[in-house]
Chain A
Amino acid sequence: MIELDSVMLSRMLTAMTLIFHIIFATVGVGVPVMISIAELIGIKKKDKYYSLMAKRWARGFTIIVAVGVVTGTAIGLQLSLLWPSFMQLAGKVIALPLFMETFAFFFEAIFLGAYLYTWDRFKNPMTHWWLSIPIIIGGTLSAFFITTVNAFMNTPAGFDVEDGVINAINPLAAMFNPATPTKVFHMVSSAYMTSAAILATIAAVTYLVKRDQEYAKRALKLTVTATLVFSISTAVAGDLSAKFLAEHQPEKLAAGEWHFETEEGADLVLFGTLNDDNEITGEIRLPKALSFLAYGNFDAEVTGLDKIPDDEEPPLFIHYFFDLMVSIGMFVLLVSGLYVLMTYVKKWNPHNKLMLWALTTIGPLSMLAIEFGWVYAEIGRHPWIMRGFMKVAEGATTSPNVGAMFLLFFLLYFVLGIGTLVVLRKMFKDHPAEVELEHLYTEVGKGGER
Chain B
Amino acid sequence: MGYEYIGITVLWVFLYGYLIVASVDFGAGFFAYYARRTNKDHIMNKLISRYLSPVWEVTNVFFVFFFVGLVGFFPDMAYYFGQALLIPGSIAIVLMAIRGSFYAFESYGSKNNSVFMFLYGATGLLIPASLSTALTISEGGFLNVTDDGVRLQITELLLSPYSWSVVLLAIVSVLYISSMFLSYYAHKAGDKDALSLLRKYALFWSIPTIIASMTVFIAMSQHNPEHFDKLFDYWWVFGLSVLFYLIAVFLVYSEKLYGFAFIAVMLQFFFAFFGYGVSKLPYLLYPHVTISESVTPDAMGLALVVAFIGGLLLLIPSLVMLMRMFLFDADYIKGNK
Residues on A lying within 8 angstroms of B by beta carbon are 59, 62-63, 65-67, 69-74, 76-78, 80-85, 87-89, 91-93, 95-96, 98-103, 105-107, 109-114, 116-118, 121, 134, 166-167, 169-172, 397-399, 401-402, 404-405, 408-409, 412, 415-416, 419-420, 422-424, 426-427
Contact residues, B29-76 vs A (CB, 8 A): 53-55, 57-58, 60-61, 63-65, 67-69, 71-73, 75-76
Contact residues, B72-98 vs A (CB, 8 A): 72-73, 75-76, 78-83, 85-87, 89-94, 96-98
Residue of B nearest to A106 (CB): B61
Residue of B nearest to A67 (CB): B101
CB pair B100–A66 under 8 Å, yes or no, is: yes
Question: With the chains together, A107 CA to B288 CA distance in Å?
Answer: 36
Set B60, B304, B321: member contacting A95, Cβ < 8 A: B304
Instruction: Check: B158 CB closer than 8 A to any chain A CB.
Output: no
CB pair A70–B100 under 8 Å, yes or no, is: yes
Chain A residues with Cβ below 8 Å from B89 are 77, 81
Set A66, A70, A110, A408: member contacting B90, Cβ < 8 A: A408
- Given the interface contacts A65-B57, A405-B87, A419-B105, does A103 sit within 8 Å of B314 by beta carbon? yes
- Which of B69, B90, B96, B148 has most chain A Cβ within 10 Å? B90
Chain A residues with Cβ below 8 Å from B57 are 65-66, 69, 109, 112-113
Chain A residues with Cβ below 8 Å from B214 are none
Residues on B lying within 8 angstroms of A by beta carbon are 53-55, 57-58, 60-61, 63-65, 67-69, 71-73, 75-76, 78-83, 85-87, 89-94, 96-98, 100-105, 108-110, 148-149, 151, 296-297, 299-300, 303-304, 307-308, 310-311, 314-315, 318-319, 321-322, 325-326, 337
Chain A residues with Cβ below 8 Å from B55 are 113
- Given the interface contacts A84-B79, A397-B82, A409-B90, does A169 sit within 8 Å of B300 by beta carbon? yes
CB pair B71–A102 under 8 Å, yes or no, is: no
CB pair B297–A166 under 8 Å, yes or no, is: yes
Q: List 15 A-B contacts (CB under 8 A).
A: A69-B57, A77-B89, A82-B86, A91-B296, A92-B297, A95-B68, A95-B73, A103-B315, A106-B65, A112-B57, A113-B326, A117-B53, A166-B297, A408-B90, A409-B90
CB pair A110–B319 under 8 Å, yes or no, is: yes
Chain B residues with Cβ below 8 Å from A99 are 68-69, 72, 304, 307-308
CB pair A102–B64 under 8 Å, yes or no, is: yes
Question: With the chains together, A83 CA to B101 CA distance in Å?
Answer: 26
- Given the interface contacts A73-B63, A103-B307, A113-B58, does A171 sit within 8 Å of B109 by beta carbon? no
Chain A residues with Cβ below 8 Å from B299 are 169-171
Chain B residues with Cβ below 8 Å from A405 are 86-87, 90
Question: With the chains together, A101 CA to B72 CA distance in Å?
Answer: 12
CB pair A69–B100 under 8 Å, yes or no, is: yes
